[in-house]
């Protein structure tokens, strides 16, 4: 359920004025004024989405608009990400998923791809340097995507970040990096098909629920709200499997120009239309196998397989972090 561009006008007030934080930080202090907090309290009288996904579009257009280099536009996009994460925490949103780098982005010019990879190196290293603040805030970092497409040093950094924060539970940040939904679904099907071929599973064990539990996002609930900036009204191969009943909010604002008022406007829109998507979910549940009770042997077999997958992933992360699992 998505508003038109005309219907996506955010709540407005005087712009936020605050001292800029240290550049490049993942964990910010609040920059909200009393009137922002008052609006947040008003919204909190209604349902707040637990999980919000962002397609952070418009960095390059922002660079052209501001007459700056593309690299500076992407850096401005990261600064807006860290600011938005703090806003989400203050609104009461406990999980955020961001589309940071699509597999399709590898088709851009080599210069731009190299710029984005170098920016990723810098930001993931900064993430590791801020481990104490992440633990203090209870933030769990998950990097979802096809890590085999990334350079060895980036693989090591993100493996370390995931392992360091995996037990934090107050807030969750999922960073979709080298990600597309088609690749994710293919990965899930390949994992299950291999298990059937190896005799770990029987063909009748395969279900929508099992495929869901083999996705990159298997530890997350489906997003309640998806926000896309820059005026594009499409998902661009992002969370296609997970978004059947997600409320979608599109704004023409470029990502680096996204403000707290746009976020509050998106949450307000979610509160207005969420009931429609709840009806859709009830209808879909009637036609899925999620409510089918499994026989004892089948349930045990699937349970053993999922435990095996989890162990393999943990071992893979540990090998990457030690630098011994890089291909």
CA angle 282, 88, 156 (to 5 degrees): 95
Rounded distance, CA 314 to CA 318, Å? 6
Please check the confidence at residue 57 and state whether its pLDDT lies above 60. Answer: yes
Q: pLDDT for 256-306, tens place per residue?
A: 999 999 999 999 999 999 988 888 878 777 776 555 566 888 999 999 999
pLDDT of residue 28: 86
Please check the confidence at residue 37 and state whether its pLDDT lies above 80. Answer: yes
3-class DSSP state of 55:
strand
Give the number of C-alpha atoms closer than 13 A to the C-alpha of residue 40, restricted to the C-beta side: 15
Q: Which of 13-17, 84-88, 140-144 has the lowest mean pLDDT?
A: 13-17
Q: What is the mean pLDDT of residues 58-68?
A: 96
Q: What is the mean pLDDT of residues 73-78?
A: 94
Q: What is the mean pLDDT of residues 133-158?
A: 95
Mean pLDDT of the chain: 90
Going by C-beta distance under 8 Å and a sequence separation of 6 or more, which residues neighbour residue 241?
181, 184, 185, 212, 215
How many H helices and E strands in the chain?
A: 10, 6
Q: Is 296 left (phi over 0), alpha (psi -120 to 50) or beta?
A: alpha
Please check the confidence at residue 110 and state whether its pLDDT lies above 70. Answer: yes
Please check the confidence at residue 253 and state whether its pLDDT lies above 80. Answer: yes
pLDDT of residue 4: 43
pLDDT of residue 19: 40
Q: What is the mean pLDDT of residues 156-174?
A: 95
Q: What domains does the chain contain, in order, with CATH numbers? A: 35-179+216-291 (3.40.1180.10)
Rounded distance, CA 236 to CA 181, Å? 9
Q: Is 278 left (phi over 0), alpha (psi -120 to 50) or beta?
A: alpha
Q: Please, are residues 78 and 26 in contact by the beta-carbon 8 Å criterion?
A: no
Give the global pTM: 0.88
pLDDT of residue 26: 87
Q: Please, are residues 157 and 323 in contact by the beta-carbon 8 Å criterion?
A: no
pLDDT of residue 69: 94
Spatial strand order in the sheet of 247-250: 139-144, 171-179, 95-102, 51-55, 225-228, 247-250
pLDDT of residue 112: 93
3-class DSSP state of 138:
coil
């Amino acid at each position: 359920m998505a508003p038109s561009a005309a219907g996506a006008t955010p709540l407005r007030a005087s712009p936020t004025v605050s001292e800029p934080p240290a550049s490049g930080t993942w964990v910010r202090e609040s920059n909200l004024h009393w009137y922002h907090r008052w609006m947040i309290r008003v919204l909190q009288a209604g349902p707040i989405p637990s999980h919000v996904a962002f397609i952070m579009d418009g960095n390059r257009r922002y660079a052209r608009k501001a007459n700056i280099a593309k690299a500076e536009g992407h850096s401005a996009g990261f600064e807006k990400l860290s600011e938005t994460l703090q806003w989400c925490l203050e609104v009461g949103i406990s999980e955020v998923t961001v589309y940071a780098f699509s597999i399709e982005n590898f088709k851009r010019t080599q210069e731009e791809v190299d710029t984005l990879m170098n920016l990723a190196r810098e930001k993931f290293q900064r993430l590791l340097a801020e481990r104490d603040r992440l633990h203090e805030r209870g933030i769990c970092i998950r990097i979802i995507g096809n890590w085999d497409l990334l350079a060895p040093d980036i693989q090591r950094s993100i493996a370390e970040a995931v392992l360091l924060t995996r037990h934090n539970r107050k807030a969750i940040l999922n960073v979709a990096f080298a990600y597309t939904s088609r690749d994710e679904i293919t990965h899930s099907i390949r994992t299950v098909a291999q298990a059937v071929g190896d005799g770990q599973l029987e063909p009748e064990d395969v279900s929508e629920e099992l495929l869901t539990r083999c996705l990159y996002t298997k530890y997350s609930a489906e997003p309640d709200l998806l926000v896309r900036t820059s005026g594009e009204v499409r998902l661009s191969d992002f969370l296609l499997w997970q978004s059947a009943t997600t409320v979608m909010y599109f704004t023409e604002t470029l990502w680096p120009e996204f403000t707290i008022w746009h976020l509050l406007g998106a949450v307000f829109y979610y509160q207005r239309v969420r009931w429609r998507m709840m009806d859709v979910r009830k209808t879909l549940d009637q036609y899925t196998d999620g409510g089918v009770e499994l026989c004892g042997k089948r349930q045990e077999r699937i349970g053993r397989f999922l435990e095996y997958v989890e162990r393999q992933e943990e071992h893979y992360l540990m090998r990457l972090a030690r630098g011994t699992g890089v291909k």
